């Protein structure tokens, strides 16, 4: 599915596509859409808080991040499909082929690129949600906390995909970036959930 | 950035009338993408036709600047010249029988409106502080994360979103008289 498809498809059809026995959308696209949902929740909270001085600006940022996340849902699906096909090709091959292995590695690295950005967007949405939680109308603080929790979940899932797709556990700077985004989002969400619990 | 890049359109027109070569360069630099966007995105002209429109529009601007009644109305004047030349180009290709903007499709009209809006935003942005221009460009145009902005500008990450929001507020204020 391309990015525009995610905006045009009905929720039921999207859910069916995710659960279908096929290629994308998979975990990366789902984590991107989770971050997009979280961002839209922050925008709603901001719009419902007319007394908050910077509410309109926060809503604009949240919507911009949501658009980027939807774009990444499409990009991740395409990259993951290519990687999955290369994986299957490698699994069915009878002999070791250095060129095929290199191509597979390249495709898996490309498949880590979108989740890395998704994790970063998750951290940004959690930051916006935290600001919203501190300053929004009291009625909507729980929605801000829910947005932070969703953003943290999306960031955690995306960081996990970065780790798996890169096949690394150590000091790869991309993995470190993804894990830092995950940690930032989680810390912000925990603080907000505790304060609204 | 030229020494004239901070000038208003009215100031630029005044210098162009006085045959200031740098002012002419700045005028072309400021409006070249605008003219090209109207021709290519708004009227769907092919590259070579858009190039002809581009040359003709700026030739007319150069030769007819004295006919511009309000120096501050440079952009709408250039837009009008460009639209007319685009319609002429379409008519000469047989795509439009009448040189009339009513003949534009809805999509073309929407694209023209978007181009107008984009340039109005650009003009309003130019009136903001360098800090605001920078931070808005990083977030909305370069898609930078709060962490990247924080690291590169050495600003605490927790304050980035509210800074962007305040700059957006100033941008909105700057645009309100136009709308």
| Domain annotation covers residue B131 | yes
pTM, full prediction: 0.76
For B15, the domain range is 1-107
Q: Which residues of B touch A181 (CB under 8 A)?
A: 147
**Max CA distance (Å), chain A:** 67
| Domain annotation covers residue B115 | no
Q: Note whether B20 and B101 are same-domain residues.
A: yes
Domain boundary pick from B77, B107, B137 = B107
Q: Could A58 and B165 be called an inter-chain contact, meaning their C-beta atoms sit closer than 8 Å?
A: yes
| Domain annotation covers residue B173 | yes
Does the CB of A121 have a partner CB in chain B at under 8 Å? yes
| Domain annotation covers residue B118 | no
Identify the DSSP state of B3.
T
Q: Could A60 and B169 be called an inter-chain contact, meaning their C-beta atoms sit closer than 8 Å?
A: no
Q: Note whether B33 and B72 are same-domain residues.
A: yes
Q: Note whether B26 and B86 are same-domain residues.
A: yes
Q: Note whether B91 and B147 are same-domain residues.
A: no
Place of tokens 């000091």: A171
A3-196, CATH topology level: 1.20.120
Does the CB of A142 have a partner CB in chain B at under 8 Å? no
Q: Note whether B137 and B89 are same-domain residues.
A: no
Q: Which residues of A touch B137 (CB under 8 A)?
A: none
Chain B nearest-CA residue for A121: B145
Q: Note whether B99 and B160 are same-domain residues.
A: no
Q: Could B139 and A61 be called an inter-chain contact, meaning their C-beta atoms sit closer than 8 Å?
A: yes
| Domain annotation covers residue B117 | no
Contact A40, A68 (CB under 8 A): no
Tell me the C-alpha distance between B21 and A129, whole Å: 51
Domain count, chain B: 2
Chain B nearest-CA residue for A118: B145
Q: Could A131 and B161 be called an inter-chain contact, meaning their C-beta atoms sit closer than 8 Å?
A: yes
Examine residue A61 and say whether the peptide bond preceding it is cis (omega within 30 degrees of 0).
no
The region of weakest confidence among A67-76, A163-172, B34-43, B52-61 is A163-172
Q: Note whether B100 and B134 are same-domain residues.
A: no
Q: Which two tokens stand for residue B136?
A: 């808005």
Q: Which two tokens stand for residue A43?
A: 């925008």
| Domain annotation covers residue B18 | yes
How far B100 CA lies from chain A's nearest CA (Å)? 33
ipTM: 0.85
Encode pLDDT of B44-79 as tens digits.
Answer: 899 999 999 999 999 999 999 989 988 888 988 999
Give the confidence band of B136 by pLDDT, cuts at 50, 70, 90: very high
Spatial CB neighbours of A38, under 8 Å, sequence gap ≥ 6: A122, A125, A126, A129, A147, A148, A150, A151, A154
Q: Could B157 and A68 be called an inter-chain contact, meaning their C-beta atoms sit closer than 8 Å?
A: no
Helix (H, G, I), strand (E, B) or coil at A169: coil
Q: Could A57 and B147 be called an inter-chain contact, meaning their C-beta atoms sit closer than 8 Å?
A: no
Q: What are the b/e assignments for A142-161, b being 16+ CB within 10 Å?
A: ebbbbbbbbbbbbbbbbbbb
Encode pLDDT of A33-75 as tens digits.
Answer: 999 999 999 999 999 999 999 999 999 999 999 999 999 998 8
Tell me the C-alpha distance between A76 and A79, whole Å: 5
Tell me the C-alpha distance between A133 and A138, whole Å: 8
| Domain annotation covers residue B122 | no
Domain boundary pick from B50, B72, B107 = B107
Q: Exposed, middle or buried: residue B71 (CB in 10 Å: 0-12, 13-18, 19+)? A: middle
B165: nearest CB among A61, A123, A180 = A61
Q: Exposed, middle or buried: residue A34 (CB in 10 Å: 0-12, 13-18, 19+)? A: buried
Q: Note whether B97 and B133 are same-domain residues.
A: no
Domain boundary pick from B74, B107, B140 = B107
Q: Note whether B33 and B96 are same-domain residues.
A: yes
């Amino acid at each position: 599915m391309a990015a525009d498809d995610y905006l045009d498809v009905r929720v039921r059809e999207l859910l069916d596509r995710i659960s279908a026995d096929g290629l994308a959308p998979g975990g990366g696209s789902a984590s991107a859409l989770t971050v997009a949902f979280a961002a839209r929740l922050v925008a709603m909270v901001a719009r419902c808080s007319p007394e908050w001085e910077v509410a309109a600006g926060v809503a604009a940022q949240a919507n911009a991040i949501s658009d980027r996340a939807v774009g990444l849902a499409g990009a991740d699906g395409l990259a993951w499909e290519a990687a999955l096909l290369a994986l299957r090709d490698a699994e069915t091959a009878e002999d070791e082929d250095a060129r095929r292995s290199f191509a597979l590695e390249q495709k898996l690295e490309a498949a880590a690129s979108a989740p890395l950005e998704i994790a970063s967007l998750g951290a940004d949405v959690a930051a916006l949600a935290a600001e919203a939680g501190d300053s929004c109308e009291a009625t909507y603080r729980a929605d801000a906390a829910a947005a932070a929790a969703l953003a943290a979940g999306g960031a955690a899932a995306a960081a996990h995909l970065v780790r798996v797709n890169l096949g690394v556990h150590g000091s790869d700077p991309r993995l470190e970036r993804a894990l830092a985004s995950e940690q930032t989002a989680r810390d912000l969400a925990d603080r907000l959930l505790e304060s609204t619990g | 950035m030229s020494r004239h890049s901070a000038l208003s359109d009215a100031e630029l027109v005044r210098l162009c009338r006085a045959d200031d070569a740098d002012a002419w360069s700045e005028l072309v630099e400021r409006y070249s993408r605008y003219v090209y966007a109207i021709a290519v995105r708004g009227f769907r002209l092919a590259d070579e036709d858009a190039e002809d429109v581009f040359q003709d529009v700026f030739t007319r601007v150069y030769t007819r600047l004295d006919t511009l009644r309000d120096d501050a109305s440079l952009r709408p004047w250039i837009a009008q010249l460009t639209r007319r030349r685009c319609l002429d180009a379409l008519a000469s290709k047989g795509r439009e029988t009448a040189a009339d903007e009513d003949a534009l499709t809805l999509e073309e009209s929407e694209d023209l409106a978007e181009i107008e809006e984009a340039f109005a935003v650009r003009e309003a942005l130019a009136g903001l502080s360098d800090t605001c221009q920078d931070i808005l460009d990083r977030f909305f145009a370069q898609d930078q994360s709060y962490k990247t902005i924080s690291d590169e500008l050495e600003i605490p990450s927790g304050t980035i979103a509210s800074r962007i929001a305040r700059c957006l507020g100033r941008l909105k204020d700057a645009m309100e008289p136009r709308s």
